[in-house]
A and B are shown apart, each in its own frame.
Chain A
């Protein structure tokens, strides 16, 4: 029924991961079609904080985030102003001596990977961030981390993909992925490569993906320029982000280019309930005020929620999905989708081309989750 040339690759999902994959594949010379059920950058991507961050929860995560942050830095000169790339850096805040020890551990891991960072003491911390409360033990400063505006970044990446011949179809829902094909209603699109980059919804298209929606709340304030200058995250965040229990909050605050302050973060497993949970919102704001008392007097303009696609081993699924011909998965990035979109795209492009990726992709192989019961379907 379609009179267009058959695509070489179909990317399902125009969030930041799909956009990055589409761009990477288009730049490989492939004819790419992106299919998005709503509009570009409107899903989890729109809810995200846009923090480009190196995280060392595991060696694989460190490798992927470090690669990605470097790719974002390389891309920075080309990015449009709307992407609002801000190289503000991250300060991992230590409340006490034991957290400062944890920060030093982190610093060692980062240094070993060539990531520039330094431990700073309480007085330097107070100089850098005067609105942080007194009595903190110090922080780990990671200068090369940055912040972007996720939806604009997704759009920019897709514009680049379009410039390399890609087509983007919005308001277009994929009902089924099968061997080298996707079905949209009665329409069937064929391609040798299909990439499932549909975020938390990727499980609907590829049953068996161990991805669950992990809800997060955010709040943004009115303009208070200079209130904070770095992305500020408590070291306790690491404990929160990587425990799959219900309901946790962590101090995580970001200065936006507009001068507004973006306040996160929370994690809950409540299926797909996108409504604001006022208790969780309050806990999150409470935590923020504990670290930055002056936040108390700043007006909040909006609150919203988003669903992070979470996997049990906290690593994304990047690579072939063996049971469906031509299918690659690029999903399950939890709270690191914005950062690792570029690294993911790089891996996908390499895996599709049969090249050796710049980092070991084994840990991300979707095949790792295949149990005998799944395979038999």
Chain B
């Protein structure tokens, strides 16, 4: 592909990420007549939570919003990964270099909404690299993208409310769920559940999920310490801190909460704190005309993502008054989110389940023992290659932040592995896109 093949796209607003927050933001802005381009690296919109198996029905809220998105005139580009995002001092535009298969495009827009969602926090333990060990959200993603769990003996061991819908969905697919283990203490979980008394719908939903896997025990204060098998997973060891037991299984769904995807926010120079993009009441980051909504601005779930997506969108198009009407919803949902983070935070014992020969960086096969706790993330990278693989530290870096209390290293381009041809496709210095017609967002 020669540089002249690279597509140049102009938009009023670029929305990155087509989960609930991105869909809400894109639809809201596009409905005002502005030109919106929405990109997502998955084959379909919906992000993680609104993924649905081909042929099955997505939740009502998803159907409504996706229909709204489709009517809004948003240009949706799936299977499209943003590999670079930067501001051009001269033009005042943001440029996103995107890759789709082996093709590349550059999208220019004066405004960006980051709805980049979250990923799971994986913590290493003996045997976690065996085939058959997947995430909790990972199980949901694989199920919804067509994987059959029928007949599989599944253990779910992790943290947070996500365990419940995933357990129910797997049972519905025919899995034999042996155990659902929540690492948080029973008292903390009970307190959190009681704190939801104002939201009976949420509690009812939780009860429905629990009913969906009634055949399997749900235990609190338990976590996995090891996985074993010859070439794939065959059994796991579960502990409650005092006693251990071994459960035969062929699938282990294990992850400890969610962390915001802020690589693009970092790349743009947005302020980050507590692992999330810092935003003001308008969902605007520290970089003018860059908004962050949904999990990227702090883990908070679907409803909060929808509210934030709308607030950010309305403020981006100058309708701050309408946005203010959503503030109290945001506040109450954010309060629940904060309680959730605290309740389900990974426990201390999880720092000690990996042994020195447990691999922590899966891309480069670096073991825990090869890394010294007194190093920095950068030192670990240079000394061992941990974090230097294709996942760019998204798995091991997140784990090491928890295990050793480290801070993430600074991000540089590319934000995701990118073909040389993709990087070369951006000739913005020499070729500028045509000015879009009738776009109020441009001067």
Seen from chain A, the residues whose Cβ lies within 8 Å of a Cβ on chain B are 39, 41-42, 46, 151-152, 155, 220-222, 258, 276, 278-279, 281-282, 285-286, 288-289, 295-304
Contact = CB atoms under 8 A, between A and B. Distances in A.
B426 A278 contact: yes
A299 B427 CA distance: 18
B378 A42 contact: yes
A369 to B, nearest CB: 32
Contacts of B427: 282
A276 B413 contact: yes
Contact of A296 (B84, B379, B413, B420): B420
Contacts of A46: 382
30 contacts: A41-B382, A42-B379, A151-B383, A152-B383, A155-B383, A220-B388, A221-B420, A222-B390, A222-B417, A258-B385, A276-B413, A281-B423, A285-B420, A285-B424, A289-B420, A289-B424, A295-B420, A296-B419, A296-B421, A299-B390, A299-B417, A300-B417, A300-B418, A300-B419, A301-B390, A301-B414, A302-B388, A302-B412, A303-B412, A304-B412
A303 B414 contact: yes
Shortest beta-carbon contacts, A-B, top 4 = A299-B417, A296-B421, A151-B382, A296-B420
Contacts of A286: 424
A297 B417 contact: no
Interface in B382-429: 382-383, 385, 388-390, 392, 412-414, 417-421, 423-424, 426-427, 429
Given A278-B86, A302-B392, A297 B420 contact: yes
A301 B417 contact: yes
Contacts of B383: 151-152, 155
A357 B420 CA distance: 46
B351 to A, nearest CB: 23
A218 to B, nearest CB: 11
B122 to A, nearest CB: 20
B102 interface: yes
B1 interface: yes
B426 A282 contact: yes
Interface of B: 1, 84, 86, 102, 375-376, 378-379, 382-383, 385, 388-390, 392, 412-414, 417-421, 423-424, 426-427, 429
A279 B378 CA distance: 26
A303 B417 CA distance: 10
A306 to B, nearest CB: 12
Given A299-B417, A301-B414, 13 more contacts: A42-B379, A42-B382, A278-B86, A281-B413, A285-B423, A297-B419, A298-B420, A299-B419, A300-B417, A300-B419, A302-B388, A302-B392, A303-B414
Nearest to A45: B382
A151 B382 CA distance: 7
Given A296-B1, A301-B388, A278 B413 contact: yes
Nearest to B84: A278
Given A222-B390, A278-B86, A279-B429, A300 B382 contact: no
Nearest to B378: A42
A220 B427 CA distance: 21
Contacts of A221: 420
Contacts of A276: 412-413
B385 to A, nearest CB: 8
Nearest to A296: B421
A303 B420 CA distance: 11
Contacts of B419: 296-300
A298 B418 CA distance: 8
Contacts of B426: 278, 282
Nearest to B99: A299
B421 A297 contact: yes
A278 B96 CA distance: 13
Contacts of B382: 41-42, 46, 151
B392 A300 contact: no
B423 A300 contact: yes
A296 B424 contact: yes
Given A46-B382, A303-B412, A297 B102 contact: yes
Given A39-B379, A42-B379, A301 B392 contact: yes
B3 to A, nearest CB: 9
Contacts of A300: 414, 417-420, 423
Contacts of A151: 382-383
Nearest to B3: A286
Contacts of A155: 383
Contacts of A258: 385
A351 to B, nearest CB: 31
B267 to A, nearest CB: 10
Contacts of A297: 102, 419-421
Contacts of B102: 297
Contacts of A282: 423-424, 426-427
Nearest to B379: A39
A147 B86 CA distance: 34
A303 B398 CA distance: 21
B245 to A, nearest CB: 40
A302 B263 CA distance: 13
A265 to B, nearest CB: 15
A19 B31 CA distance: 63
B418 A299 contact: yes
A188 B374 CA distance: 26
B423 A301 contact: no
A285 B422 CA distance: 11
Nearest to A47: B382
A374 B290 CA distance: 50
A281 B412 CA distance: 12
Contacts of A298: 419-420
A108 to B, nearest CB: 36
A304 B86 CA distance: 16
Contacts of B421: 289, 296-297
A302 B84 CA distance: 12
A142 B316 CA distance: 60
Contacts of B390: 222, 299, 301
A286 B385 CA distance: 27
Contacts of A303: 412-414
A42 B427 CA distance: 33
Contacts of A220: 388
Contacts of A289: 420-421, 424
A101 B358 CA distance: 55
Contacts of A152: 383
